[in-house]
Amino acid sequence: MLRDLFTRPFRLGAAEELCGIVIAEPLDLSGVMLPNLDLTGAVFKVPASFRGATFQGLAWLRNVTFEAPADFSEASFAGDARFDGARFQAAARFSSTRFDGVPCFDGAQFAAAAFMDRMICSGSLSLARARFHGPVCLRNTACYGGLWCEGAQFFSSVDTRGLEIHGRNLTAGTKLEQKVPPASV
């Protein structure tokens, strides 16, 4: 069963290597304890829920494609969360997620809304070269290690009310290209 691959016991120094796996059946891992996971290049064709899950170690979701909504709300990551190059083709939810390491979204692409509100990031929140085509909510997020947005592009609204950045802030080359409706005549 697919769920069994994700919920094996945590083993120090060993990872569940699920690189390139195609997930075409609903996957609900809400509230479960997850081992070290390497999902590099995986494709989620259906909604994936990691809501309230605990990533106990390695969390590599590099170059993963989420074709349907992905929910990581209220999850916790004990180490770095690597979403480099990930493609979110539907809503991506990270509301109230805790990252004890670096949440890395370098080069990620968000086609729809990205909910990154109320997150706690102990390391730097890294959005370098990320592209956001839908609205982004960073409301009340705390970035204790800083915020890296070098080369990020925002094509829709960005809500940063209450965003706290402690540490270094790099925004060189960031583009806010919000589409503004034409003025009425």
Q: What is the largest CA-CA distance in the chain?
A: 65
Per-residue pLDDT band for 1 (boundaries 50, 70, 90) equals low
Domain layout of the chain by residue ranges: 14-176
Nearest partner of 21 among 60, 78, 77, 75, judged by Cα? 60
Q: What is the pLDDT of residues 3-17, one digit of tens each?
A: 666 776 666 666 667
The CATH number of the structural domain formed by 14-176 is: 2.160.20
State whether residue 3 is helix, strand or coil: helix
pTM score of the predicted model:
0.90
How far is residue 128's CA from residue 149's CA, in Å, rounded to a whole number? 5
Per-residue pLDDT band for 54 (boundaries 50, 70, 90) equals very high
Q: What is the pLDDT of residues 88-143, one digit of tens each?
A: 999 999 999 999 999 999 999 999 999 999 999 999 999 999 999 999 999 999 99
